[in-house]
Amino acid sequence: MLTRIVKLHFQADKIDDFLSHFETIKWKVAHFPGCQGMKLLRGENDPCLVFTYSVWESTDALENYRKSDVFQNLWPKIKIWFDQKPEAWSVETHFDGFPKNLNQI
């Protein structure tokens, strides 16, 4: 398993455009083959700051997504709305103290 965390910071006048667009593609990403799930997190003190948090079966699964039409159509559209360079990390989980189903909390 591989967790991918991507930090995106949007222009103040474009964050609503991003959030609206995200609504149209979120399930395409979350249900992409090899994706185990995805979250969009928004900064508490900075509404223009968002993180995507996704879990992938493998590095190959993530790379398949990055080469897919879904990603190739998404990235060029949103990158013009950034006001900072995006940052991304691929990490492995070494401890997970969360319940298996957070929706039951």
Q: What's the pLDDT tens digit per position in 57-88?
A: 999 999 999 999 999 999 999 999 999 999 99
pLDDT for 67: 97
Residue 19: give the domain boundaries: 2-91
Spatial distance between the Cα atoms of 73 and 85, rounded to a whole number of angstroms: 19
Q: What is the pLDDT of residues 85-102, one digit of tens each?
A: 999 999 999 998 888 766
Residue 103 lies in a domain: no
Nearest to 65 by CA among 54, 79, 76, 49: 54
103 has pLDDT over 70 = no
pLDDT of residue 102: 61
* 105 located within any domain: no
Amino acid code (one letter) for 10: F
65's tokens: 């997504």
Looking at the whole model, is its pTM more than 0.75? yes
Unique residue bearing structure tokens 């991003």: 18
Element (H, E) at 84: none
User: Does residue 105 register a pLDDT over 80?
Assistant: no
CATH code at position 22: 3.30.70.100
Kindly report, residue by residue over 7-62, the tens digit of the pLDDT.
999 999 999 999 999 999 999 999 999 999 999 999 999 999 999 999 999 999 99
Could you tell me if residue 98 is inside a domain? no
Residue 99 has a pLDDT of 82
Q: What's the pLDDT score for residue 100?
A: 76
- How many structural domains compose the chain? 1
